[in-house]
Amino acid sequence: MNEGDSQTVPLDSTYEELVVHGNREFQRYALDNNIYFAPVDDDEIEYMQYLHGILNMMFENRAIFPPIPRPRRILECGSGSGAWAMEVAEQHPECEVIGIDIYPYPVPEDIPSNLDLQIDDLNSPSTFPSNYFDLVNSRLMAGGIHANRWMNYLRDIWRVLRPGGWCQMVEIHFNAQSDNGTLTDNHALQVWSQNYLQSVQPAKEPRAAPRLRNWMTQAGFVDVEPRMLILPLSGWSTGAGPRVNMGNNLPPASLTRY
């Protein structure tokens, strides 16, 4: 989208090209440009939907945290399967909701009429008009944003927000721990996680989560309020769901990084 122009352009077929590794489908453009290393196939869409449900439970089914009674325009960065954007568009039918992702994931035919899913590389400067959105939602972008892009990415978000607008960000700080002390340094999960962190650096910043507050303040945001929640990786009293979540995620993560 060009600044001051609401027209979109036809999808470049480059974004639709796939490559297969280990029986999983990946976006060729994302791999060739070292942008995003996760699969984009049906299994990944199912995982995204599942993770959306996990986050909904953690957030007590609150899609929007800031007090915005009647938002006019909302942008989601990294919309993926479109689950969050569709949910918000249904909850706010008078609001224009735009979702941006690097891959054209298939979406249901009956998506809300106020939802527009667009394809773009968020590592490039934003071309949305300044002072345009009431809310920008950025969720789980550490795997897609280049490490040296974060500050300008946040400045782009700050610029496109209207005065008094809000930004909410969700990132996973992958710091595996155990309450009973069984997760030692030699544990397979610890070894895997350290290898994972090393494999994505320096291209990506897997430790973005604890740095967001300082980054956002430097980018111009005020009243930045961080909240840290625990994401179970194995069966707790809540059942086996979180354990399935981790089991679904580890194989493709390992496949695409080693």
What order of strands is seen across the sheet that includes strand 73-77?
A: 115-119, 96-101, 73-77, 133-139, 161-170
Residues in CB range of 138: below 8 A, 6 or more apart: 76, 77, 78, 157, 167, 168, 169, 170
Please give the C-alpha separations between residue 251 and each of 116, 166, 191, 248, in angstroms, as whole numbers: 32, 36, 15, 7
How do strand 73-77 and strand 133-139 relate by DSSP bridges? Answer: parallel
Whether the pLDDT of residue 243 is over 70: the answer is: no
In a domain, 1, yes or no: no
Contact 103, 117 (CB under 8 A): no
In a domain, 213, yes or no: yes
Q: Render pLDDT for 87-99 as a digit per residue (tens, 0 to 9).
A: 999 999 999 999 9
Mean of the pLDDT values across residues 171-178?
A: 83
Residue 76 identity (one-letter amino acid) = E
Q: How many Å apart are CA 141 and CA 129, to the nearest integer?
A: 22
Q: Render pLDDT for 51-62 as a digit per residue (tens, 0 to 9).
A: 999 899 999 999
Number of separate domains in the chain: 1
**Residue ranges making up the domain that contains 151:** 13-257
Residue 254: what pLDDT?
44
In a domain, 8, yes or no: no
Q: What is the pTM of this model?
A: 0.86
- Going through the chain in order, the beta strands assigned E by DSSP cover 18-21, 24-27, 73-77, 96-101, 115-119, 133-139, 161-170
Do you know the residue count of the chain? 258
Whether the pLDDT of residue 1 is over 50: the answer is: no
In sequence order, the β-bridge partners of residue 133 are 161
In a domain, 89, yes or no: yes
- CATH assignment at residue 104: 3.40.50.150
Range with the lowest mean pLDDT among 70-74, 125-129, 187-191? 187-191
In a domain, 128, yes or no: yes
Residue 235: what pLDDT?
58
Whether the pLDDT of residue 236 is over 60: the answer is: no
In a domain, 48, yes or no: yes
Whether the pLDDT of residue 245 is over 80: the answer is: no
In a domain, 4, yes or no: no
User: Could you give the angle at the alpha carbon of 154 between the alpha carbons of 151 and 156, nearest 5°?
Assistant: 110
Mean of the pLDDT values across residues 234-257?
A: 49
In a domain, 206, yes or no: yes
Contact 69, 91 (CB under 8 A): no
Nearest Cα neighbor of 141 from 157, 159, 165, 118 is: 157
